Structure 1
């Protein structure tokens, strides 16, 4: 009797998508995209920190069903210079340092149990839950930090923010967005849309400055030309005056 041929580990397929939407609603999608943009903006100088949203995270080699798609994850110690289709922990030899789930009443049970214990067992240093509609999390934000291989709740600051040691930043709920507060400037980091507007404004200012500089240069050239013209007139008058003096003598 012939034995069935089992696929080798190299032949096992790891899907890149399950066809499910990114978030529960448009609000959740916007919150996820804002976080992605803000965290990439904050960490763009770190070439070994990869920030991604809604990507399949495979955590067991040879088991394509061992997969999750965190809303946002921050992974340290990997090459951030290129984009991936999936993230396999055994290939990258790394797990996320931070996972943020934009949660809702519909996903609460899974976010607080299945994902909680999975991320804890994988060694994800910090796990945050952001409830943009405040359906079940008072204050919208809850966080956990890995201490001795177990998650411990992160204490809420007086201003309602949570401090992320891994991000070296504070997380601050604002309406349906989760703001990332820059510890240096103490101001919220712009998200993707805000960064685009900021870039457009900066380009407009640069264009205005360039036009102003061009106008000033043109005026300077005109002033220089006028000065040279006046010098010529003065020189001509001096020559005539000298000629008159010579003829008078």
Structure 2
């Protein structure tokens, strides 16, 4: 006999906890979330979320976690109040990021690791910006296992590269471009637009000069074919 689940079960969209404890933690969460969005902007079947509750088990609203950032392949983009896995072809988020703050406890992080291990996360990255410590785990033989050397690590799923320097963590796109903050991305876009405008201005100036020379030649009785370069 198959029991039907109570359709009145509520899966809250919020756990009542703040997204971040401080500006540094928030800045890193946004850095990962926004750049991963950019990385997969052209792929309609990669869903990237930040601070979204993930419910892996239907009928169990108490089994949940809100990763700082997670990535799900083979799921469409779009708004969600929470990630209810049974409504998502039962696909587990493959990659999870947590950014530590002074308020995170060892017990809390162990419980999260156990949760991600139990429910099938493939890659789990933890960055402590205050101590500049990066920890990574990947699934091997069905178990999340610590990555021994992560100083120049490339994510198997994402293709991004982590470089841990003496001062900070640097993350690079598969093409070698660095992850940038929203301000840096805006500045880069403005610079690229300025370069494009300058290039177009030069093209326009060249065309005007060519037209002027053509007129002078015509006045001198010299006809230049239109397709002459």
Structure with more of its chain in helix, by fraction: 1
Q: In 2 relative to 1, CA 175–28 (structure 1 residues): closer, same or farther, beyond 3 Å?
A: farther
Q: How does 1:1-249 map to 2 (within 5 A)?
A: 9-80=6-77, 82-92=78-88, 93-134=90-131, 139-157=132-150, 160-173=151-164, 178-185=169-176, 187-231=177-221
Q: TM (normalized to structure 2)?
A: 0.84
Larger radius of gyration: 1
- CA gap of 1:178–1:50, structure 2 versus 1, over 3 A, is farther
Deviations 1:23-66 (A, max 9, x none): 12000000110111222222333332211111111122122222
What is the CA-CA distance between 1:199 and the residue it aligns to?
Answer: 1.5
- The Cα of 1:113 is off from its aligned counterpart by 1.2
Structure 1 contact 38–180 (Cα < 8 Å) conserved: no
Larger RCO of the pair (alpha carbons < 8 Å, separation 6+): 1
Q: List runs of 5+ in structure 2 lacking aligned partners.
A: 223-229
| C-alpha deviation, 1:177, in angstroms | 6.1
Q: Secondary structure at the match of 1:113?
A: helix
Q: 5+ residue gaps in structure 1?
A: 1-7, 233-249
TM-score, structure 1 normalization:
0.78
